[in-house]
Amino acid sequence: MKETALRISDFKDSIFGVMSRLAREHNAINLSQGFPDFDGPEFVKEFAFKKIAEGHNQYAPFPGSMNLRNEVSSYYKRFYNLNYNPESEVTITVGATEAIFVVITALINPGDEVIVLEPFYDSYVASIKMCGGVAVPITMHAPNFTVDAEELQKAITPKTKLIILNNPHNPTGKMWEREELETVASLTIKNDLYLMSDEVYEFLTFDGHSHIPTATLNEMKERTITVSSAGKTFGLTGWKIGWICANEKLSNAFRLVHQYVTFSVSTPIQEAVAEGLKNLETYLPVFRKQYQDKRDYFYKELTSLGFKFDIPRGTYFMMVPISQKTEMKDVDYAMKLIKDYKVATVPPSAFYLKSAEGEKYLRFCFAKKDETLQAAVTNLKGL
Ligand SMILES: Cc1ncc(COP(=O)(O)O)c(C=O)c1O
């Protein structure tokens, strides 16, 4: 039999799949994969039942249900004062993952370079490779995970077309400061690049910190492609509804790809998400408090176990330094935790291409029931 395509020849099972499998095999508590082990809000689920019963069951328009595009456009206006025309500048996708693939496929020619800020979400590099592009890693330096402007400028070549930024940031929980965003934005403008801003955790922010969408920065709206998703905001990651907001010319290009990747996205679920977005103002305080309480509990317990790090301001992840505890690298320490302490985490070296920085950390996901977190803490007590 002939070989499968070269473009996937170095692809492996994703680290999330591997760690979840090991968690099952060792009967470990799974704090590795980034999703809640509890259900999303009843009111949004009820809308899904209702929309199916009402007969929203045939193909939606391929750029997305008009209701959902209107609601996406409306919340960008309400929360960020950003104007996106729902007819021509908002496209609904199967989660942010499809959005990322579509954006990269529509922009990147073989040989084009894409700057990825490491640690990165793993689908960026995979999508770049599938398009024949070249991922150029720039390390976000610990402890604040900042990007050095000079290093970034040096990495930009005539072949560079796109920078990918994630804010709030998985795996570190960082929320970018305005000045840091401006550094990346000014180089994007100076070098005439596009910037894909992955903002799937835009509402998962704590202690009153507000998210700054990259598109709100001076002169950035036209060159920013914003990707987001309902999965994190409503704790319904399995619904896989995402969106891309970008200018009309770029949106047209994204829609050309999207129509041949999935054509359209689940109709009743889009309609239910539209209803959810209408209610963001009342829903978000409850949502944030739920996750902030979990963060506070888990942070307190990890610090009392001797892990020292700054409390994350956003997302449901903690990137925890392990060097005070062990000489081991992340992968070995993660294996030890699974086997001996029955707690599964993610070794972050999987999120780096260049730096060995990730070997000094483990990523914990705290989007878990209180009893799951308590059981993990009990298991880790012997550490
Ligand atoms: C930074 C980041 N981007 C994108 C995604 C994918 O989102 P979705 O489930 O909507 O495809 C995730 C999921 O974990 C993520 O952490």
**Within 10 Å of residue 248's Cβ, how many Cβ atoms?**
12
Q: Using one digit for the tens of pLDDT, what is the confidence trace for 30-87?
A: 999 899 999 999 999 999 999 999 999 999 999 999 999 999 999 999 999 999 999 9
Q: So where are the chain's domains?
A: 6-41+282-380, 42-279
- Do 91 and 254 meet the contact criterion of CB atoms below 8 Å apart? yes
**How far is the C-alpha of 171 from the C-alpha of 58, rounded, in Å?**
37
Q: Using one digit for the tens of pLDDT, what is the confidence trace for 185-220?
A: 999 999 999 999 999 999 999 999 999 999 999 999
pLDDT tier at 15 (50, 70, 90 boundaries)?
confident
Task: Specify the CATH number for 6-41+282-380; select among 3.90.1150.10, 3.30.360.10, 1.10.10.10, 1.10.510.10.
Answer: 3.90.1150.10
Ligand 1, pocket-test mutation among 170, 227, 239, most atoms within 8 A of CB: 170
| CA distances to 86, 225, 229, 329 from 71, in Å | 8, 18, 13, 45
For helices 370-380 and 330-341, angle between their N-to-C axes, nearest 10 degrees: 100
Residue nearest to atom 14 of ligand 1 (CA): 34
- Do 273 and 243 meet the contact criterion of CB atoms below 8 Å apart? no
Residue nearest to atom 4 of ligand 1 (CA): 96
Q: In this structure, what are the phi and psi dihedrals at residue 307, rounded to the nearest 5 degrees?
A: -85, 125
Classify domain 42-279 at the CATH topology level.
Aspartate Aminotransferase; domain 2 (3.40.640)
231 CA distance to ligand 1 centroid (A)?
8
| CA distances to 166, 238, 377 from 342, in Å | 31, 26, 11
Is this structure's pTM higher than 0.85? yes
CA triple 47-276-167, angle to 5 deg: 145
Residue 383 is encoded by which pair of tokens?
């550490």
Contact 173 CB / ligand 1 (< 6 Å): no
Output b/e per residue, 68-98; b: 16+ Cβ within 10 A: bbbbbbbbbeebbebebebebbbbbbbbbbb
**How far is the C-alpha of 112 from the C-alpha of 35, rounded, in Å?**
33
Q: Using one digit for the tens of pLDDT, what is the confidence trace for 229-249?
A: 999 999 999 999 999 999 999
Question: Which is nearest to 202 in space by CA: 277, 105, 146?
Answer: 277
**How far is the C-alpha of 345 from the C-alpha of 32, rounded, in Å?**
4
Contact 170 CB / ligand 1 (< 6 Å): yes
Helices (H), the chain: 15-25, 42-53, 66-80, 95-107, 123-130, 149-155, 178-190, 230-233, 248-261, 267-278, 280-304, 330-341, 370-380
* Ligand 1 atom nearest 169 alpha carbon: 1
- Do 130 and 7 meet the contact criterion of CB atoms below 8 Å apart? yes
54 CA distance to ligand 1 centroid (A)?
30
